[in-house]
Amino acid sequence: MLWLHGDLHPVNVPTVDGTVCGVIDFGDLFARDPAGNLAAAWNLLPDGTADLFHAAYRPALDAAALRRARGWAVRRALGGSLIGEAGVRGRPGGKATSGPPAHAALRRLGVTPSRPATRATASGQRPCELERLPSRPCPRRVGAGGPSTRSLPDRRSTASSERRS
């Protein structure tokens, strides 16, 4: 196990004229499998350099470590893509600048996320908005901060009566 940054992505690795000039936000520093940091090769480096980076890494990586690193890279890139989309739409927590590097990483990884059709329907809603399930209130147990929204059978009394039979 190694000490790892734990959150290497374009926002935490500032550059000047395309050259890395620092690493910030060590709030996720911890010791574990290095695959999480090795994902940075796809998320941060230019096209065609991930293989060179991994070949130069010591100790040499086995196929399983590369698969784990690739999984971490996909996860981070998808997260960056969502944050970028939220920024474009003006949603809280969104950063429009996160989208382009995330999309580039997904392209380098060979991942092409499908996007819902963007054409509006007659009602003005996008198809993905029409497919959302209606939100329902979560049932609360009696005594858990409020009245129950529906009555649930008491499983204990049913189970004890079944055991007696």
Q: What is the pLDDT of residues 50-106, one digit of tens each?
A: 999 999 988 888 999 999 999 999 999 999 999 999 999 999 999 999 999 999 999
Q: What is the pLDDT of residue 1?
A: 60
Poorest-confidence range of 22-26, 62-66, 134-138? Answer: 134-138
- Positive or negative torsion for Cα 112, 48, 2, 101: negative
Q: What is the pLDDT of residue 55?
A: 92
Q: Which two three-digit tokens encode residue 34?
A: 């290095």
More confident residue, 152 or 115: 115
SS3 56: helix
Between CA 83 and CA 88 the distance in angstroms is 9
Between CA 130 and CA 133 the distance in angstroms is 8
pTM above 0.85, yes or no: no
The answer, yes or no, to whether residue 149 has pLDDT greater than 90, is no
Mean pLDDT, the chain, whole residue set: 75
E-only strand ranges, 38-156: none
The answer, yes or no, to whether residue 107 has pLDDT greater than 90, is yes
Between CA 57 and CA 49 the distance in angstroms is 12
